Amino acid sequence: MLNEVVKRKIGIMSTEEIDKVRYMEKEMLKMPQIKIATHHIIHAGMYARTITVPAGIMLTGSLMKIPTLLIIQGEFLLFAGDKTIKLTGYNIFTGSENRKQIGVAMTDTHVTMIFATNAKTVAEAEEEFTDETHLLFSRYTDAENHTIITGE
């Protein structure tokens, strides 16, 4: 099992691959948007953010500036670079910096991203992993955020 986890990597994407995701994102932003709650935890030098993507929803991720772990549980199509991965069940990926994915939830799907940080606030953590904070569900005017910061 561990070897499979290590093989599951989302690598650095080319400029052309990222541009394709940005094109899709631009088109998707023309459609009605839904509200997705974001759960944040800052604990012991780690930041984790979890969203639940409802069945039938397509979304794009922000452009990642740093490496992270990505945990996806559910039935989900993940478009990353030049490959499409059909996921079922519980999946862990290592993710490189300079990546931007598209995902489609076939069932309600939980997506958690984790990375090491010295951030003390959610805003600091978000600015650490992306320059596209304006695209994050957690930054929308009517955002639903659930935050735990332990101070440990």
- Domains of the chain: which residue ranges? 2-140
The pLDDT tens digits of the residues spanning 110-126 come to 999 999 999 999 999 99
What tokens does 88 get?
Answer: 């079922």
pTM of the model: 0.91
Tell me how far apart the alpha carbons of residues 8 and 129 are, in angstroms, rounded to a whole number. Answer: 20
Q: What is the mean pLDDT of residues 100-113?
A: 97
pLDDT tens digit string along 7-22?
588 999 999 999 999 9
List beta partners, residue 48. 41, 114
Instruction: Identify the pLDDT of residue 7.
Output: 59
With beta carbons less than 8 A apart as the criterion, state whether 57 and 33 touch: no
Residue 33, both tokens: 């948007």
CATH class of 2-140: mainly beta
What is the Cα–Cα distance from 110 to 112, expressed in whole angstroms? 7
Q: 82, exposed or middle or buried, with CB in 10 Å at 0-12, 13-18, 19+?
A: exposed
Eight-class DSSP state of 45: T
Strand, helix or coil for residue 21: helix
